[in-house]
Amino acid sequence: MKSLLALALGGMMALAPAGVASAQESTNRVAAKTDWSVFVESNPTECWAVSAPKKTVNTKDGRPVAVRRGDILLFVTYRPSANVKGEVSFTGGYGFRKGSTVSMEIDGKKYELFTDGEWAWPASKDDDARIITAMKRGKTALLTGVSGRSGTVTKDTFSLLGFTAAVEEAAKRCGG
pLDDT in tens, 144-164: 999 999 999 999 999 999 999
Q: What percent of the chain has pLDDT over 90?
A: 79
pTM, rounded to two decimals: 0.85
Q: What's the rounded mean pLDDT across residues 72-98? A: 96
Sheet holding 153-159, edge to edge: 29-33, 36-41, 46-51, 73-79, 84-91, 119-121, 109-116, 101-106, 140-146, 153-159, 55-60, 63-64
pLDDT, tens digit, for every residue of 28-39? 899 889 999 999
Architecture of domain 2-173: Sandwich (2.60)
pLDDT, tens digit, for every residue of 15-25? 343 222 332 34
Q: Is the pLDDT of residue 174 over 70?
A: yes
Domain chopping of the chain, boundaries: 2-173
Q: What percent of the chain has pLDDT over 70?
A: 84
